[in-house]
């Protein structure tokens, strides 16, 4: 008895990675509300008894109530401060929580001394205020981080199952992690695309917002690559998976995003260092204030002024604003198809003053465009196109993908045969496929075999091709080793290449193009001087050129995609890899660009510079604020409660600025020309129009954009 495959499961490996628990945050907000409520009530009572001190049992009761409320807030809500401060001691590091703990302990001790001695004012409310400020800062920081992780988890969960097609035509609902290359899944209108794979039929509209930030859908046709995370807008399609379900481009993006914010940037490390020396410095200043005021008016007043200096100087602006800004920038770019791997990489992008671009696959599409096509006598254009279309549909070879626009529905099977077309790759030459008519080959001169007449015919057809100027290469089609057609293929720049290169050049960056193609001539619209364009470079020569620029003071951004770009990326100060490029270059680079939009490099640099500038401004603000606050405390002008309120206002201000980094109208307006667009690159589907003259130029403008991400 033959068993149906519908009873079997895919052999795909379960997805790696831990499931993250995302807290709702309601408990934190309740705690903050309690701390704020107690702080407000304690502040009212504290001011009242300091202005008009009660006597006897009434005084004892109110003081005990205030002291109890302070202890309640600290032990119910503020224990994370104590825990983190202790961890810092164990690790022999000074952290922000120790600063809070010092202020809390100082204010409680000073107030308790006033209660027991009957001299001076009490400031128990400062304990609740400091706990509330700490809780607010922790909520803001964690919420920003958790929001990013929650968005990543929701996006992953939305594409974690699929309808797999069996060999019997049945559909099985299963986890996408069990999908293996070659499996076919069905996707219906409105559903998310769960796998990376090749579209078996089309055309359909697909929305690729997860990778480009744009909401407008693009047309995908049979043979095009579709990525998990996209959404099918119309129709019902079958997709053949090209990756395991646990190793999709979406999984790579989400894993990298989850890790990116964990790595501290240089500015974050600087802020940590400031905190490390700031605490002993402030403690020393507070001691000097205490000594000075003790000598002048007595120790009880001196203690209050010293406490005020400690409270007002808490550098929570540094501890809050810097990580918030980093998370904001990483999320902002990720939503627009740019994945920066760490905060440090973000700062490196902000510091560049030179840009180097690879050519093939970076400035240009790695899939050439067919610009002319002629056939020999005895063969019609329609039948040659049909043969080539069948060969293209069964292969991911670059030569075949150049003819992706010729793929037709049902072309994966030869007429009269139920067996799929089997394509054989001819290394360095092209591809070969067996059809009922014979052996069809597509490729360069390497496929021209047999007598000299074959090459003579190839030369004759090549001479008939028009539009042969520029970077045009000739490919041939043979049937049983007889030349039946010739095609002129030309490398085409991406739609946003010119505007991107011009932006870097006009913005004052040293802008270079380095390519291994020895005969490449840049189009005039790039407007780069000849000394800025270097051709015929081997990988080690690219890296050497980048290192030479670095030795001359340049901080180089290298944008590339190929395996040969990895050494130059490693030598550069910062680097960006096109998301469809070689894995080694993507792993080496500081960040990746998804969606094939070169203009995303402009967005990345602008956002990085804007973020780092805002972070440095916040750090300057924090230092100036603390110096002024300590000065006022030393002069005896500042009240401890006022100091706590000022510290709260400072924390809220820098946090608000960090959370609203990219809501600024100027930032939005300046980024508008670089808003990522999911348009076919470089142009839509090729259409060949029959002409009476076999050598007439054809309206053929290139293969589909999505196929360019396959190598």
- With contact defined as beta carbons under 8 Å apart, do 328 and 658 qualify? yes
Give the pLDDT mean for 599-618. 87
- With contact defined as beta carbons under 8 Å apart, do 271 and 318 qualify? yes
Q: DSSP letters of 125-156? A: HHHHHHHHHHHHHHHHHHHHHHHHHHHHHHHH
Of 151-160, 327-336, 677-686, which gets the smallest average pLDDT? 677-686
Judge if pTM exceeds 0.85.
no
Phi (first) and psi of residue 510, to 5 degrees: -70, 115
Note the pLDDT tens digit of each residue in 337-366: 788 877 788 888 999 999 999 887 788 876
Please tell me the predicted confidence (pLDDT) of residue 673. 44
Please tell me which of 30-34, 65-69, 93-97, 650-654 the model is most confident about, judged by mean pLDDT: 65-69
Please tell me the predicted confidence (pLDDT) of residue 503. 92
- Burial category of 669 from C-beta neighbours within 10 Å (exposed 0-12, middle 13-18, buried 19 and up): exposed
End-to-end, the C-alpha distance of the chain in Å comes to 42
Q: How confident is the model at residue 705 (pLDDT cuts 50, 70, 90)?
A: very low
- The residue ranking higher by pLDDT, 490 or 69, is 69
What kind and span of H or E run contains 75? helix 56-77
Question: In angstroms, rounded to a whole number, what is the distance separating the alpha carbons of residues 700 and 374?
Answer: 13
Q: Count H helices, E strands: the chain?
A: 21, 22
Percent of the residues in the chain that have a pLDDT greater than 90, as a whole number? 7
Note the pLDDT tens digit of each residue in 4-21: 454 444 444 444 444 444
Q: What sign for the dihedral angle of Cα 338, 340, 343, 345?
A: negative
Phi (first) and psi of residue 339, to 5 degrees: -105, 110
What are the Cα distances from residue 689, in Å, to 63, 489, 510, 705? 93, 17, 44, 22
Please tell me the predicted confidence (pLDDT) of residue 60. 85
Please tell me the predicted confidence (pLDDT) of residue 584. 54
Q: How confident is the model at residue 206 (pLDDT cuts 50, 70, 90)?
A: confident
Q: DSSP letters of 500-567? A: HHHHHHHTT-EEEEE-S-TT----GGG---GGGEE-S--HHHHHHHHHHHHHTT--EEEEE-SGGGHH
pLDDT of 415 above 70: no
| CB contact set of 114 (below 8 Å; sequence gap of 6+) | 120, 121, 122, 300
Which of helix, strand or coil describes residue 651? helix
Please tell me the predicted confidence (pLDDT) of residue 679. 30
Q: Which two tokens stand for residue 557?
A: 């951004």
Q: How confident is the model at residue 435 (pLDDT cuts 50, 70, 90)?
A: confident
Which of helix, strand or coil describes residue 222? coil
Give the pLDDT mean for 216-233. 76
Please tell me the predicted confidence (pLDDT) of residue 262. 56
pLDDT of 700 above 80: no
Please tell me the predicted confidence (pLDDT) of residue 550. 92
Question: In angstroms, rounded to a whole number, what is the distance separating the alpha carbons of residues 456 and 434?
Answer: 25
Please tell me the predicted confidence (pLDDT) of residue 405. 67
Q: How confident is the model at residue 580 (pLDDT cuts 50, 70, 90)?
A: low
Please tell me the predicted confidence (pLDDT) of residue 353. 93
Please tell me the predicted confidence (pLDDT) of residue 570. 87
Of 160-169, 376-385, 562-571, which gets the smallest average pLDDT? 562-571
Question: In angstroms, rounded to a whole number, what is the distance separating the alpha carbons of residues 337 and 256?
Answer: 13
pLDDT of 61 above 70: yes
Please tell me which of 53-57, 61-65, 148-152 the model is most confident about, judged by mean pLDDT: 61-65
Question: In angstroms, rounded to a whole number, what is the distance separating the alpha carbons of residues 589 and 557?
Answer: 10
Q: Which two tokens stand for residue 497?
A: 């290449």
SS (H, E, C) 354-378: EEEECCECCCECCCCEEEEEEECCC
Cα–Cα–Cα angle for 325, 331, 334, rounded to 5 degrees: 140
Please tell me which of 61-75, 248-262, 676-690 the model is most confident about, judged by mean pLDDT: 61-75
Note the pLDDT tens digit of each residue in 46-57: 767 776 777 778
Give the pLDDT mean for 548-574. 87
Q: How confident is the model at residue 558 (pLDDT cuts 50, 70, 90)?
A: very high
What are the Cα distances from residue 148, in Å, to 138, 145, 190, 250? 16, 5, 25, 15
Give the pLDDT mean for 190-197. 86
Question: In angstroms, rounded to a whole number, what is the distance separating the alpha carbons of residues 446 and 437?
Answer: 21
Task: Give the relative orientation of helices 96-117 and 79-90 as an angle to the nearest 10 degrees.
Answer: 120
Please tell me the predicted confidence (pLDDT) of residue 691. 29
Average pLDDT, the chain: 75
Please tell me the predicted confidence (pLDDT) of residue 136. 74
Please tell me the predicted confidence (pLDDT) of residue 555. 94
Note the pLDDT tens digit of each residue in 470-519: 567 788 999 988 899 998 887 778 888 888 999 999 899 999 999 877 76
Please tell me the predicted confidence (pLDDT) of residue 552. 92
Please tell me the predicted confidence (pLDDT) of residue 102. 82
- With contact defined as beta carbons under 8 Å apart, do 430 and 388 qualify? no
Question: In angstroms, rounded to a whole number, what is the distance separating the alpha carbons of residues 608 and 576?
Answer: 13
Q: Are strands 369-375 and 423-426 parallel, antiparallel or unpaired?
A: unpaired
User: Which residue segments constitute the domains of the chain, with CATH numbers given?
Assistant: 24-155 (no CATH), 159-254 (2.70.150.10), 261-296+337-366+493-635 (3.40.50.1000), 369-490 (3.40.1110.10)
Q: DSSP letters of 578-624? A: ETTS-HHHHHHSSEEE-SS-TTHHHHHHHHHHHHHHHHHHHHHHHHH
């Amino acid at each position: 008895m033959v068993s149906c495959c519908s009873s079997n499961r895919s052999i795909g490996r379960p997805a790696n990675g831990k499931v993250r628990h995302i807290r709702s945050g309601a408990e934190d907000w309740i705690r903050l509300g309690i701390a704020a409520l107690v702080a407000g009530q304690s502040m009212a009572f504290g001011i009242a008894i300091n202005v008009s001190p009660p006597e006897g049992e009434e005084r004892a009761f109110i003081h005990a109530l205030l002291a109890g409320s302070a202890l309640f807030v600290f032990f119910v809500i503020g224990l994370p401060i104590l825990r983190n401060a202790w961890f810092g001691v164990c690790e022999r590091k000074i952290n922000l929580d120790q600063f809070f703990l010092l202020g809390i302990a100082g204010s409680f001790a000073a107030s308790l001394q006033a209660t027991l001695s009957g001299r001076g004012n009490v400031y128990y409310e400062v304990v609740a205020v400091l706990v509330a400020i700490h809780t607010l800062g922790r909520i803001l920081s964690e919420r920003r981080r958790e929001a990013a992780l929650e968005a990543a988890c929701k996006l992953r969960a939305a594409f974690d199952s699929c309808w797999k097609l069996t060999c019997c035509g049945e559909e099985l609902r299963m986890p996408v992690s069990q999908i293996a290359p070659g499996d076919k899944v069905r996707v219906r209108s409105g559903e998310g695309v769960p796998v990376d794979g090749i579209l078996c039929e089309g055309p359909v509209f697909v929305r690729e917002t997860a990778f480009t930030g744009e909401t407008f859908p693009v047309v995908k046709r049979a043979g095009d690559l579709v990525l998990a995370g996209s959404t099918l807008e119309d129709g019902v399609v079958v997709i053949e998976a090209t990756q395991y379900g646990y190793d999709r481009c979406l999984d790579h993006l989400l894993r990298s995003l989850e890790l990116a914010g964990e790595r501290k940037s240089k500015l974050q490390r600087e802020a940590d260092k400031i905190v490390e020396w700031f605490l002993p410095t402030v403690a020393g200043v507070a001691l000097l204030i205490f000594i000075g005021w003790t000598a002048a008016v007595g120790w009880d007043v001196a203690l209050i002024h010293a406490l005020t200096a400690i409270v007002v100087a808490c550098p929570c602006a540094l501890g809050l604003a810097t990580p918030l800004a980093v998370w904001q920038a990483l999320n902002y770019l990720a939503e627009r198809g740019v994945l920066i791997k760490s905060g440090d990489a973000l700062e490196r992008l902000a510091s560049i003053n030179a840009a180097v671009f690879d050519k093939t696959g970076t400035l240009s599409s790695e899939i050439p465009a067919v610009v002319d096509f002629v056939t020999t006598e005895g063969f019609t254009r329609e039948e040659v196109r049909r043969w080539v279309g069948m060969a293209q549909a069964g292969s991911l070879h670059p030569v075949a993908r150049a003819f992706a626009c010729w793929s037709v529905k049902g072309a994966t099977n030869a007429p009269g045969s139920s067996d799929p077309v089997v394509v054989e790759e001819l290394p360095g030459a092209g591809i070969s496929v067996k059809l009922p008519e014979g052996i069809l080959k597509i490729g360069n001169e390497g496929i021209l075999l047999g007598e000299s007449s074959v090459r003579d015919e190839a030369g004759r057809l090549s001479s008939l091709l028009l539009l042969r100027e520029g970077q045009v290469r000739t490919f041939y089609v043979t049937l049983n080793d007889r030349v039946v057609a010739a095609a002129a293929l030309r490398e085409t720049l991406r739609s946003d290449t010119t505007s991107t290169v011009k932006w870097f050049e006009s913005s004052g960056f040293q802008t270079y193009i380095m390519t291994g193609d020895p005969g490449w001539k840049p189009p005039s619209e790039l407007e780069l001087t000849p000394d800025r364009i270097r051709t015929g470079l081997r990988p080690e020569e690219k890296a050497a050129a980048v290192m030479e620029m670095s030795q001359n003071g340049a901080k180089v951004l290298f944008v590339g995609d190929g395996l040969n770009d990895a050494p130059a990326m490693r030598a550069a100060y910062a680097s960006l890899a096109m998301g469809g490029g070689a894995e080694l270059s993507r792993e080496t680079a500081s960040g990746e660009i998804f969606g094939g939009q070169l203009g995303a490099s402009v967005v990345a640099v602008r956002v990085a510079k804007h973020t780092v500038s805002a972070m440095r401004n916040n750090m300057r603000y924090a230092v100036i604020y603390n110096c002024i606050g300590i000065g006022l405390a030393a002069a005896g002008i500042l009240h401890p409660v006022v100091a706590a309120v000022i510290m709260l206002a400072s924390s809220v201000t820098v946090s608000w600025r960090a959370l609203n980094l990219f809501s600024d109208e100027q930032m939005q307006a300046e980024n508008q020309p670089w808003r990522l667009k999911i348009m076919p690159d470089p142009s839509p589907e090729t259409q060949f129009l029959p002409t009476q003259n076999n050598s007439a130029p054809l309206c053929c403008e290139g293969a589909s954009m999505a196929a360019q991400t396959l190598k």
